[in-house]
């Protein structure tokens, strides 16, 4: 049950994120890059991609992988686009 609730919460957050991206695309909202731990972001998306697209994801990252300054929403969108193009 907790897994279903967690997935629903993630879906709601992703919906809010999509709205932000659409507003940014329409130039009604500024893009705000921040420092992002890419490994954490990808691992957070892994269950969604496995569930939605049936994609196997290996989350092997170097231990010393530096954080990057990027728009987390844009990186997430790029990863999702790659997954969708794959299926």
What pLDDT sits at residue 14? 79
The number of folded domains in the chain is 1
The range of the structural domain enclosing residue 12 comes to 2-86
What confidence score (pLDDT) does residue 68 get? 93
CA triple 74-76-29, angle to 5 deg: 30
Question: pTM of the prediction?
Answer: 0.59
How confident is the model at residue 67, as a pLDDT? 95
Nearest CA among 33, 17, 29 for reference residue 77: 17
Q: Is the dihedral of CA 38, 40, 46, 49 positive or negative?
A: negative
pLDDT tens digits for the chain (87 residues)? Answer: 788 878 887 877 777 777 777 766 665 555 678 999 999 998 888 777 776 556 677 778 999 999 999 888 888 878 877 776 654
Yes or no: say if 50 and 87 are a contact pair by the CB < 8 Å rule. no
Enter the tokens of residue 47: 């269950």
């Amino acid at each position: 049950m907790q897994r279903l609730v967690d997935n629903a919460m993630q879906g709601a957050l992703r919906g809010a994120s999509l709205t932000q991206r659409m507003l940014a695309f329409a130039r009604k909202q500024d893009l705000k890059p921040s420092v992002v731990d890419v490994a954490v972001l990808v691992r957070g998306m892994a269950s969604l991609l496995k569930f939605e697209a049936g994609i196997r994801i290996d989350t092997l990252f170097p231990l010393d992988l530096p954080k990057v300054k990027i728009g987390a929403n844009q990186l997430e969108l790029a990863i999702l686009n790659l997954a969708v193009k794959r299926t």
